[in-house]
Amino acid sequence: MAEQNFAPMSRRSLFRMIGMAAGSAVMYQAMTDLGYAGESGYTGPTKLSGDVKGASVVVLGAGLAGLTAALELHNAGYKVQVLEYQHKAGGRNISIRGGDTVNELGGFKQQCQFDSGFYVNPGPMRIPYHHIALLDYCKRLNVPLEPFSIINYNAMIHNSKAFGGKAKRYREVETDFRGHISELLAKVTAQGKLDQAVSKEDAEVLLQALRAYGALDRNYEYKKGALVSNHRGYNVDPGGGLSWQPTDSDPMAMSELLQSRLWTGLLTGHEYEYQMTMFQPVGGMDMISAGFVRALPPDMIKYNCKVTEVKQDANGVTVSYVDAQKGGAVQTATANWCVNTIPATILSQVPMQIGAPLKNAINSLSYSAGFKAGVQMKRRWWEDDERIYGGITYTDQPVALISYPSTQFMQTQKGVVLGAYTFGPHAFELTSMSPEERMKVVVDCGAAIHPQYRTEFENGVSVGWHRMPWTLGCFAQWSEANRAKNYDALCAIDGRMVLAGEHASHLGAWQEGAIVSALDAIKRLHQRVVAA
Amino acid sequence: MKSAFVVMGSALLLGLSVSSGAYAQGAGAGGGRGGFTEQGGEAIFKNVCQGCHMPDAKGAVGAGMYPALAKNPKLEVAGYPVSVVVNGQKAMPALGGMFSDQQVADVVNYIRTHFGNNYKDKVTPADVKATRP
């Protein structure tokens, strides 16, 4: 993020000066050097300048894309109205707290029983450091952030079919994998087998690097001892006085480690999208949408509106809608322009006067299944018993992972863990169950790693995204082939309407995608308005 | 570009390639396994289809809708449900990458002979194979 003492506007002025003096290539380089541009295309707060000529815009959907569009268009002088299906704003930017009702399709109703102060984020839960548009809005909208722990060396990696189903610590897997690979590579290097690929001089440095990197001994062997324990942890940790003697831990054998595939649990946190530092809003992800709503005029969003048809002509758009709960009489909203952020699953079912390219693009998108469950525990046993403070445990079981809270360490008696976060077949299967059946799976999977689940489980709440009435799925899936074929058409302005949302971005499923998609859409729309 | 919801670890725990199959983006990489293991039409319906089409196969309505499979005349021509399962359609995701030909045939045959549907002609795995893109 931007340095605190370097205000965005002064940056923009600086960039403009550089741009005028030296041309855009140099300006782009300067912006990159200073930390703007390059990341998701965001170049600082949007400024829609020029006369909007009293134009009006109807925004469909009050998720992050719709809220972003509404806020910026309102600030630019447009007359803005937002229609939202739910009784609240945010869309998939959502948190569930005690007392909240989760209504899934099919009449499956859950009343969240969490104690006051606890929540689960059933949609997005973490923000990468390079999602600078979202971080910028958090700053502008006074949404406090805190670190989200993505890697915890003391969390677990578990495969029910390896090591007798006993989970290993991340640090053990990480150190042993590093050590064994380093030893192997050191061996072939020392034997001269890499002579074709590595010069003699480089081979010497490589051996030094492998010894340090892999915690190898003077013979380039990865072996039990103080050096290795200093990386992977001890059998008995060092202490003080006379009555406490540290003992070294036993590395896993290479073959068993490889075959266990526990090393796969090391990878996520190293990918660009999951590298530290990650963030979460203090108090729940929906603090972001709440921040947007605070910044908008109080009556701009009309709730409980189910869009039933979109018509357009040369002058504007007419949106038909009914009360989302009661149905009844058809109402209409008219505007000169429409920013449509309704997910493609739903949009494909709404009659709209649009061209074939856009219609085909909307219809081409499949939405991923996704499943999450939050579980309230009677005590913070992962901290008290196991010294796991935040981070994620991975497992081959249907729940896929357990994410421990990144906040309130040791401050509360109880706590809420994310007990499941899964996609693909397991998500379809868990979605197909009743809430009670799901929670049994969640507890069984958790107990296979942490027996405390059996005694400390108190209550839970789950979301199967295909049963959410307002999304009918988790996020849009773009194959490379379909993106090449349909993405441009999905994002193009069709008459008086433009789509926005994570589905209209290269950052699928991320909140950043929703925001930069909306910013790009309104920029193009605004250009037309000003040019007209 | 991978998605926010990719969780590679568990897929790889079972030895699946991250980029394998038609479902490489998002779900396939994060599901813990690449395909459904259920065998037989009833098991597949209860573990997969009823998530959206509901246990009574009567579908559901929200901002959009999931159609009823019960008493649905569109099931008369077997090629239609086969194509929808394999290739998807609107809110129905393309599931071909997670099902074998046999599984698709089984679940389509099950749906076409239950929930008030009574279409006797059977879909074969070869029919399904011919529908794949």
Residue B26: pLDDT over 60: no
Question: What tokens were used for A75?
Answer: 């600030």
CB contacts, 8 Å: A60 with chain B = none
Per-residue model confidence as pLDDT tens digits over A428-479: 999 999 999 999 999 999 999 999 999 999 999 999 999 999 999 999 999 9
Q: What pLDDT shows up at residue B19?
A: 30
In this structure, the answer to whether residues B63 and B119 fall within a common structural domain is yes
The candidate with the shortest Cα–Cα distance to A469, out of A67, A102, A90, is A102
Indicate the residue of B7, B30, B47 with minimum beta-carbon distance to A432.
B47
* CATH number, position A504: 3.50.50.60
If asked whether residues B87 and B26 sit together in one domain, one would say no
Is A268 within a domain? Answer: no
Q: What pLDDT is attached to residue A243?
A: 84
- The answer to whether the Cβ–Cβ distance between A349 and B50 falls below 8 Å is no
pLDDT, tens only, B52-107:
999 999 999 999 999 999 999 999 999 999 999 999 999 999 999 999 999 999 99
> How far apart are alpha carbons A94 and A101 in whole angstroms?
13
Chain B: residue whose CA lies nearest to A260: B13
Please give, rounded to a whole number of angstroms, the shortest distance from the CA of A325 to a CA of chain B: 9
The minimal CB distance from A106 to the residues B7, B22, B60 is found for: B60
Instruction: For residue A301, report the phi and psi dihedrals to the nearest 5 degrees.
Output: -95, 125
Residue A314 lies in a domain: yes
Q: Is A236 helix (H, G, I), strand (E, B) or coil?
A: strand
Residues on chain B touching A342 (C-beta within 8 angstroms): 63
Q: Given this model, what pLDDT does residue A224 score?
A: 98
Check whether residue B65 and residue B121 sit in a common domain: yes
**What's the whole-number average pLDDT of chain A?**
93
Q: Among B39, B51, B49, B42, which residue's Cα sits nearest to residue B113?
A: B42
Q: Can you give the pLDDT at residue B33? A: 60
Record: contact A105-B63, CB cut-off 8 A: no
The reported pLDDT for the residue numbered B22 is 27
**Could A510 and B98 be called an inter-chain contact, meaning their C-beta atoms sit closer than 8 Å?**
no
Sign of the Cα torsion B123, A105, A509, B44 reads negative
Residue span of the structural domain in which B4 resides:
1-34
Looking at chain A, which residue has its C-alpha nearest residue B64?
A346
Q: What is the pLDDT of residue A312?
A: 98
Picking from A428, A468, A507 by the largest number of B CB atoms within 10 A of its own CB, the best residue to mutate is A428
Mean pLDDT computed over every residue of chain B? 82
**Cα separations (Å) of B59 from A105, A224, A367, B1, B103?**
9, 59, 18, 33, 21
For residue A10, pLDDT beyond 60:
no
The total domain count for chain A is: 4
Which structural domain, as residue segments, surrounds residue A324? 48-89+287-365+476-531
Number of domains in chain B: 2
Among B2, B5, B66, most A C-beta atoms within 10 A, so best to mutate, is B5
Contact between chains at A466 and B64 (C-beta distance less than 8 A)? no
Q: Return the pLDDT at A185.
A: 97
ipTM exceeds 0.85: yes
Number of A–B residue contacts, CB under 8 Å = 207
Q: Which of A345, A423, A463, A516 is the best substitution to test chain B (most B C-beta atoms within 10 A)?
A: A423
Are B28 and B43 contained in the same domain?
no
- Host H or E run for residue A366: strand A366-367
CATH number at residue A186: 1.20.1440.240
The radius of gyration of chain B's CA atoms, rounded to the nearest angstrom, is 15
The answer as to whether A427 is a domain residue is: yes
With cut-offs at 50, 70 and 90, classify the pLDDT of residue A39. Answer: low
Given a cut of 50, whether residue B46 has pLDDT beyond it is: yes
Looking at the structure, do residues A355 and A416 belong to the same domain, yes or no? no
Domain identity same for B45 and B25: no
